[in-house]
Amino acid sequence: MADALHPHAWRIIEQLQVPIMTLDMAGYLTSWNQGAQHLFGYTPQEAIGQHVLFLYADDAGDTQTPTPELWPERGNAVMEVWRRKKNGENFKAALVLSVLHDDHNQPLALVAQMTEITQTLEPHDRQKLHSSIIEDSDQGILITDINERIVSVNAAFSYITGYSSQEAVGQTTDLLRSGEHNADFRAKVLAAMHGSGPWQGEIIGKRKNGELFPQSVSISVVRNDAGRVTHAFSVFSDISVLRDTEARMQRLANFDNITGLPNRGHFHQLVDQGLASARRNNHIGAVLTVDLQRFDDVNETFGHEIGEELLRQVAERFGQTLREEDVLARVAASEFVVALLNVQKREHSGIVAQKLLATLKPGFTIDSMVLHVGANIGISVFPEDGTDTVTLMQFADVAVKRLKAEGDSGYLFYSPEMNQRAKERWHLEDELRQALKSRHLLLHYQPKVSLRTGRIVGAEALIRWQHPEKGMISPGFFIPIAEETGLILEIGDWVLEESCRQIRAWKDSGLQVPVVSVNLSARQFDRQLPTRIQAVLGRYDLPASCLQLEITESLLVRGTDGVVQIMNDLVATGVSLSMDDFGTGYSSLAYLKKFPLTVLKIDRAFVIGIPHDDNDCAIARAIVTMAQQLRQEIVAEGVETRAQMHFLRDLGCDQLQGYLFSPAVPASALAHMLRTHVRLSLL
């Protein structure tokens, strides 16, 4: 018998203290566990192979061999029997017999479980004991007569159902009927109450206050000496708490607790199902990754509570825009994803994307503030781009990343060529890490000249990547990747260190070194920045005045107090701040007053059109006028022609940086220019 069971299962049974034995269909013992050994005193060696009769008490009334007719067809047979121990002692035992069937439903073996019934109590005491056990049980107990009328209930019954004993006794069990079960199910329960065999299961009951509750119930019957059923008793526990916890866990596992939307895992489940039916019906589907812009800024500036409220409101607006059958989920801090499972044409998913973007247009009012957020949406189409949820989500992500990388906003459909690029970017990121380690990064310096004297008055450190195979790679290409991956922090530190090292080396060689400016990424701008800068300067024994930091408008737009504070701290250490690429971002001129800037660099985009493009000229003029009022120095970037130089000088620009004078050059070349006092002719 033991070998018919899974080896683990038998090992467990073997060690149980509940006496369990198995018999073959002829009544010979085939296994014998520790509990059986303990009860009877026979070892497995002594017992196995014996006929079960050797355990029978001499005067037991049931000495006949168990015959198949007596065996329960299904479930258990419960009976009281007399047995004899090895030491000769007879005892009464409760025997539970069950038949094990093979795969073809043929009876295979009998499993017998036996419990000794100790009868040392006087009948009166026993009754008292039993009733107090029943009364004190924390399971509800209900005893009914043969007509299903309740004859007794315990305290837990009243506690769980709300009915007192007086209210319950005399009623039928319909008192607790919830109406949740069909006739078939009720017939089974009733059959158990009339002695068809013990029944165990879950029933939905109804409390006195009308509330439905799930209960785990076992029903058995009491028989008189003649074997007639006289009573039935149900033992039940209220498992609604369990159910609530289960439901809560279910929610936690499947839903985002801020917006209540499905989370990533659940989205997968839902969309897997949806795609299966889309496939059957030849429908087109789409997955849209919606990435909220500037959400981190909101969190940072206004705190997480406001951020969470914003997410809730966004989720609500999206929900209202989408159809019932669309799936909306929140899968990352600022990322939602939408699955459209039945669209006519791929283009229609673009219309949905437009609608989603449009819902964000009106600001979000939170705490009497109005916040504006935008989003980027990447779209992948089923079955064109992919046929499973994972691929579709991945490709929608690729599209959204592409939008971000290009600095665009709006929505974009995935194309295979993008994936190629995304892969290249991964590769590039890896190479960039290597480059940082193996010193393939270097700094070139582009001189800035005074428009009054023509002399070099500054230099901008510009990073270069000398790739062993691909040659020189433009920072315009790899800096955005470094920003996205966070690698910019290490690179930025290296740039600061390297430029200070260079200034020191120049000084040590007796050179008059003009102020060197270094570009900073917004990501480098944290509270520790001033301390880090002072530390680098200290390492090379340099005054702060030899360093200028170029920052971009994106930092100002973040406009938090934190940023202004850090800027003030920086200026307090003695370094100066320069606003790079001015005019390309969002900040208004008036806005600039708030920030302690020394230098304003007019972006090359406006310099290009000078002096022919009226618009560019007007913008340059406005910038210069404003900067003069703010007493900021003005540097024109990317000046390539003398005409540009004349115009800018006449406007009142202070300095010029551009190919007209020199591109960025290696450190040694700049040293040479300084030493030989090269000058720009202002004629």
Chain positions contacting ligand C2E, by CB under 6 A: 446, 462-463, 474-476, 479, 492, 495, 519-521, 550, 580-581, 637-640, 657-659, 664
* 548 makes contact with Mg ion (CB under 5 A): no
* 654 makes contact with Mg ion (CB under 5 A): no
> In whole angstroms, what separates CA 643 from the centre of its chain?
57
CB of residue 491 to Mg ion, shortest distance in Å? 15
* 499 makes contact with Mg ion (CB under 5 A): no
The region of 193-201, 309-317, 341-349, 578-586 touching Mg ion under the rule CB under 5 A is: 578-586
CB of residue 480 to ligand C2E, shortest distance in Å? 9
φ, ψ for residue 284, nearest 5 deg: -95, 140
Which residue is listed with tokens 């302690």? 596
Compute how many other C-beta atoms are within 10 angstroms of the C-beta atom of residue 332: 14
CB of residue 497 to ligand C2E, shortest distance in Å? 11
Q: Which residues in the 621-650 window bind Mg ion by CB under 5 A?
A: 637
Q: Give which of Mg ion, ligand C2E, none residue 475 binds (C-beta under 5 to 8 Å, depending on kind).
A: ligand C2E
CB of residue 515 to ligand C2E, shortest distance in Å? 15
Residue with Cβ nearer Mg ion (499 or 519): 519
User: Coil, helix or strand for 410?
Assistant: strand
Residue with Cβ nearer ligand C2E (256 or 633): 633
Residue with Cβ nearer Mg ion (91 or 494): 494
User: Coil, helix or strand for 139?
Assistant: coil
User: Cα separations (Å) of 189 from 139, 201, 577?
Assistant: 19, 9, 83
CB of residue 599 to ligand C2E, shortest distance in Å? 12
> In whole angstroms, what separates CA 76 from the centre of its chain?
47
Residue 680 is inside which H or E element, if any? none
- The Cα–Cα gap between 314 and 362 comes to 11
Q: Give which of Mg ion, ligand C2E, none residue 446 binds (C-beta under 5 to 8 Å, depending on kind).
A: ligand C2E
Compute how many other C-beta atoms are within 10 angstroms of the C-beta atom of residue 425: 20
User: Cα separations (Å) of 249 from 245, 252, 254, 259?
Assistant: 6, 5, 8, 16
CB of residue 386 to Mg ion, shortest distance in Å? 40
Residue with Cβ nearer ligand C2E (232 or 432): 432
Residue 658 near residue 602, CB atoms below 8 Å: no
* 553 makes contact with Mg ion (CB under 5 A): no
φ, ψ for residue 83, nearest 5 deg: -135, 170
CB of residue 683 to ligand C2E, shortest distance in Å? 19
Residue with Cβ nearer ligand C2E (31 or 655): 655
Residue with Cβ nearer ligand C2E (339 or 461): 461
Select from 381, 353, 191 the least CA-distant residue to 275. 381
CB of residue 580 to Mg ion, shortest distance in Å? 4
Q: Give which of ligand C2E, Mg ion, none residue 553 binds (C-beta under 5 to 8 Å, depending on kind).
A: none
Residue 191 is inside which H or E element, if any? helix 183-193
Long-range contacts for 584-591 (Cβ within 8 Å, ≥24 apart)? Answer: 584/553, 585/552, 585/553, 585/554, 585/556, 585/557, 586/553, 586/557, 587/553, 587/556, 587/557, 589/622, 589/623, 589/626, 591/556, 591/559
CB of residue 520 to ligand C2E, shortest distance in Å? 6
* 519 makes contact with Mg ion (CB under 5 A): yes
Select from 495, 498, 500 the least CA-distant residue to 482. 495
Q: Which two tokens stand for residue 20?
A: 């369990």
Residue with Cβ nearer ligand C2E (441 or 542): 441
Among 291, 385, 581, 616, binds Mg ion (CB under 5 A): 581
DSSP-assigned beta bridge partners for residue 577:
549
Residue with Cβ nearer ligand C2E (161 or 657): 657
Q: Give which of ligand C2E, Mg ion, none residue 463 binds (C-beta under 5 to 8 Å, depending on kind).
A: ligand C2E
DSSP-assigned beta bridge partners for residue 23:
29, 110
Rule CB under 5 A: which residues touch Mg ion? 519, 550, 580-581, 637
